[in-house]
Structure 1
Amino acid sequence: LTPYLDRTPLSLSGGQQQRTALARAIVKNASLVLLDEPLANLDYKLREELRAELPKVFAAAGTIFVYATTEPHEALLLGGNTATLSEGSITQFGPTIEVFRKPVDLVTARTFADPPLNTIVLAKKGLDFLLEGGVKLPVPAELFGIADAIYTIGFQPHHLSLDRPNAAAVPVRAKVTITEITGSESFIHLDFADARWVMLTHGIRDFEPDEEVEVFIDPRHIMVFDEHGRAVAAPKLAA
């Protein structure tokens, strides 16, 4: 740090300015600190290092931190309580894991999802959810009591899989639009009926555009929303 001690903030790079501002905020020992995307201008490696370090710094400081971010995984990493905002209004407030696993409505579920939440509109009839092409998704036992009606179901990208995860999982055929390979993971974008889905898989999966693949939906992990977007049910399994 010695070469930078005589510099003014304006002579520092954007990332250095952001780190300086963050350090100044923490060392003041204020009772309340507001942080608006404090890691946004940092390079990837440093951002990941600080994300791992900040929870320990916050815990040691004994200060209330209000941390604004557009990245759901950043909120999950920091823990504590989370308020989700949409169009200037708070849609839900509570323990971070609780908000992620049990959103009160579809707006919150979509806000707190990256990659985007997979959704599809379908009908419940008896013990099945009816999808396009005659595909039936068994209604989990805890949802037997909900009325037959039109619903939107949602599920996270990591709950869509190429291999059948269990006997309850239902296969559907979808068309690949593009595959994003990050190295350790692949994000496979799919079209199913009128829905656009993303599937998160481990390792490198290289599919051609327009290739048809069989994917599995696990009904135990679905969220159900009514026609007004209000949550009817959330998965009891860890999401």
Structure 2
Amino acid sequence: MTTLQLKNIVKRFKTQTVLDNLSLDVGDSERLVLFGPSGAGKTVLLRLIAGVVDPDEGSVLIGGEDMADVDAEYRGVGMAFQNFALFPHMTAFQNIASPLEAKRSSSRAIKEGVDKVARLLKIDHVLLHHPKALSNGQKQRTALARALAGSPPLLLLDDPLRNVDAKLRFEMRLELPRLLAAQGATVVYVTQDYKEAMALGDRIAVMSQGRIRQIGTPEEIYNTPADMEIARLFGDPVVNLLDVTPLASSGGIHVELSNVKVTLPDFSEEVVGRSCVLGLRPETVAFTNAATPGAIPVTVAAETPLNEKTVALVLTARGREILLSRPAGTPGPTSGDAHIAVNGRSAFLFDKESGLLIRPRAKIMSRSGEAA
């Protein structure tokens, strides 16, 4: 069983703290994605797990064993580096085969292992080429193939699809989870692409400034972002964020858009009068008929078709911008006056000062387990 535990990790370079008291548990055969902007500390954390660099404070445990005195080559870790780190004097085949040769596998097992992973990553036609003859995308896939070929119990993948073209990147998002699941490895995967994080991770750890700001399943991160910044990072088009002050009436807690009440049924009176930010995912806002109860009058300012969806920009009566997203081919107004519908149950509410999510009150459950 291969688990990974990071306990109170601190890493400094001169006066800069790159990892700040970071703790993390990764379960056996789990795929954990480290997601965050450049400079968040993701790559440093991978190198620290691999044993390339040492922590200034804290401990790394692999399979329950403290790695403090264990050199990198004895940690049972496979890693695909962001900068490829291929052996320039070896062919792609030899690079991929190196972990199998280190395990003293037979010539037949080496050839079968290399051919299998090379076919999957679509580099079987360049196996006899040296790195200098490969494109960046081919180099990156060769480095990934080398990490996979040895079937290590712990895999560290540092943005391995960054230089891959869009079509292959999409295909790999589908194929990689199957391959990793078949290998049964525990995986820590770094990416700055939120779609990749959503597709590949059993859980996602969102990093910023050397700390983990939120960790959860892709659904939890998307549907319950811990703060406004995380809400912005996940979604295309980006989440709508509107300054609001919740009010109370006989109909419950509500905010107003174009002087129309939008009820927030899951929130209590503690948010009334508080400076907040309303978060609306573009796909949860829809055009509607003017006669629909709660219809909000807007002006359609622009519309952009984006292959599988159409994005519209509308303005409220106060000139506030709201993005709507609907499936391509779905009819909708392209300009002028229109009306939109907003489901208050799908809205986020953030504290304006701290940016933190205000969690709705828990639903009262009936004995059958359904919301009462």
Instruction: Sort the TM-score into its range (normalised by shorter chain).
Output: 0.7 to 0.9
Label 1:17 to 1:5 Cα distance change in 2 as closer, same or farther (>3 A): same
The one of 229, 233, 237 equivalent to 2:359 is 233
The one of 213, 216, 228 equivalent to 2:338 is 213
How far off its partner does 1:122 sit?
Answer: 0.8
The one of 252, 271, 279 equivalent to 1:147 is 271
Query: Which residues in structure 2 correspond to 1:155-234 (within 5 Å)?
Result: 155-163=280-288, 170-192=294-316, 193=318, 195-204=320-329, 208=334, 211-227=336-352, 228-233=354-359
- Name the amino acid aligned to 1:198: L
The 2-side partners of 1:226 and 1:180 are apart by: 31
How far off its partner does 1:189 sit?
Answer: 2.7
The 1-side partners of 2:283 and 2:337 are apart by: 19
The 1-side partners of 2:347 and 2:202 are apart by: 25
Q: Which residue of 1 aligns with 2:245?
A: 123
Q: Which residue of 1 aligns with 2:144?
A: 22
Query: Secondary structure at 1:108's aligned position in 2?
Result: helix
CA RMSD, aligned part only? 2.7
How far off its partner does 1:112 sit?
Answer: 2.4
Q: Is the 8 A contact 1:110 1:117 kept in 2?
A: yes
Q: Which residue of 1 aligns with 2:77?
A: none
How far off its partner does 1:104 sit?
Answer: 1.9
Query: Secondary structure at 1:76's aligned position in 2?
Result: helix
The 1-side partners of 2:159 and 2:319 are apart by: 35
Query: Secondary structure at 2:238's aligned position in 1?
Result: coil
How far off its partner does 1:52 sit?
Answer: 0.6
The 2-side partners of 1:189 and 1:114 are apart by: 14
The 2-side partners of 1:211 and 1:36 are apart by: 47
TM-score, length of structure 1 as denominator length: 0.84
Query: Secondary structure at 2:246's aligned position in 1?
Result: strand
Mark the structure with the bigger radius of gyration. 2
Percent sequence identity over aligned pairs = 28
Label 1:231 to 1:206 Cα distance change in 2 as closer, same or farther (>3 A): closer
Query: Secondary structure at 1:39's aligned position in 2?
Result: coil
Q: 1:74-99: per-residue Cα shift (whole Å, max 9, x none)?
A: 22212311111234432101222222
Q: How many residues in Structure 1 have an aligned counterpart in Structure 2?
A: 232
The 2-side partners of 1:56 and 1:223 are apart by: 34
The 1-side partners of 2:235 and 2:209 are apart by: 16
Label 1:190 to 1:72 Cα distance change in 2 as closer, same or farther (>3 A): farther
How far off its partner does 1:202 sit?
Answer: 0.9
Query: Secondary structure at 1:40's aligned position in 2?
Result: coil
The one of 93, 109, 118 equivalent to 2:215 is 93
The 1-side partners of 2:311 and 2:218 are apart by: 24
Query: Secondary structure at 2:355's aligned position in 1?
Result: coil
Label 1:2 to 1:54 Cα distance change in 2 as closer, same or farther (>3 A): closer
Q: Is the 8 A contact 1:15 1:41 kept in 2?
A: yes
How far off its partner does 1:173 sit?
Answer: 2.9
The one of 149, 171, 178 equivalent to 1:56 is 178
Label 1:52 to 1:130 Cα distance change in 2 as closer, same or farther (>3 A): same
How far off its partner does 1:57 sit?
Answer: 1.0
How far off its partner does 1:7 sit?
Answer: 0.8
Label 1:198 to 1:34 Cα distance change in 2 as closer, same or farther (>3 A): farther
Label 1:206 to 1:11 Cα distance change in 2 as closer, same or farther (>3 A): farther
User: Gaps (5+ residues) in structure 2?
Assistant: 1-122, 364-372
Label 1:235 to 1:216 Cα distance change in 2 as closer, same or farther (>3 A): farther
Q: Is the 8 A contact 2:239 2:279 kept in 1?
A: yes
The 1-side partners of 2:276 and 2:306 are apart by: 34
Query: Secondary structure at 1:233's aligned position in 2?
Result: coil
The 2-side partners of 1:37 and 1:76 are apart by: 14
Label 1:10 to 1:172 Cα distance change in 2 as closer, same or farther (>3 A): farther
- Name the amino acid aligned to 1:58: L
User: Gaps (5+ residues) in structure 1?
Assistant: none
